[in-house]
Amino acid sequence: MSFPIPVAVCSLVPTVTGLVVNAFITLVNIRNYLREQGLKPCDKILMALCLTRFLLQWTFLLDIIGILLQLIPFSTFAIYCIFYVVEQFLDYFSRWLAMWLSILYYVNITIFKNVLVLYLKSRIPHVTSYMIFVSAFLSFGPGLIYSLTSSEVSCLRVSNQSLSKNATYETKEFLSISFVFGQCLPSVIEMVSSIYLLWTLFAHVNYTKANVSSFTAPNMDAHWSAIRCILLLYFMSACNFIGNLILYFFSNDSFGSSLSYIITFAYPTLHSVVFVLNHSKLKKELAKILYCEKSVVGFRAETVVRSSLGQA
């Protein structure tokens, strides 16, 4: 992966922030797992997603450092290829996990009456681990294909050797397959489930307003908060999908590709930040950390003032 130095500089802040945010979410879920001897399916997927993003953003950071220090052109060819295979695997794996998380939220919130759907819903806690393993399997193939066929990584090419026309055509075919199964399919399913979830919430809000007569003004704050959260996640997923589409097939546009790089680097961070701000347990843990930090800063300031008064 190669991109201009200004893009690397702009991507540095969201990447470092994402490392902190995703590490925080992962550690909180690990601690809850040890305390409660288990996690809910959504929290289990969320922990796997944020751990994957934490590792992914380490590869982003190494990418940025390699660009800024001009180390990538001089790296060992085998290490160079293996690095991008791992990076693409983590990227696709995070997309599949985000898709499963969106589906689980839809299934948990929506009220179903079909017997078969209810049975499948009851089986979710037992198949969550299998969903993660299947996602990892589905991510490795497209990631390997992309790393072997992308013009930026070009692990199949020897240095200073160009591709023939037939090879270039085959490369575009393989790249399309990689994009469909690595980015397009999970992104489309995620966005469709988000649309269904929004429709369900809007329908519930309208039904409550029309039929609840015990009080004149039902409190819909929780519903509207969930709707805003889903709309924001949907918007970010759509931007990330469009950014990846440009990088895959329209990378000749320097401005578009530069903007797409910034979007794809910032997406894992912003997506996880929204989870923190809308997850009750994560918000409580964050509030505790901020309160402790505020107490420590206040105590240090008070100590400094006392010591300065004592010296006076």
pLDDT, averaged in runs of 10, over the chain (312 residues): 70 90 92 85 91 92 80 58 83 92 80 70 84 88 73 49 44 76 88 83 73 56 76 87 82 76 88 86 82 60 50 52
pLDDT value of residue 162: 44
Q: What is the pLDDT of residue 219?
A: 57
Q: Output the pLDDT for position 158.
A: 42
Q: How many CB atoms lie within 10 A of CB 255?
A: 7
**Packed helices 124-149 and 115-122: angle between N→C axes, nearest 10 degrees:** 80
For domain 5-282, the CATH class is mainly alpha
Closest CA relative to residue 146, chosen from 181, 104, 175: 175
pLDDT of residue 55: 94
**How far apart (Å, rounded) are the C-alpha atoms in residues 151 and 31?**
42
Q: Specify the pLDDT at position 93.
A: 93
Q: CB within 8 A of 123, min separation 6: which ones? A: none
Say if residue 52 is exposed, middle or buried (CB neighbours under 10 Å; 0-12, 13-18, 19+).
Answer: buried
Q: Is the pTM of this model over 0.85?
A: no
Q: What is the pLDDT of residue 308?
A: 52
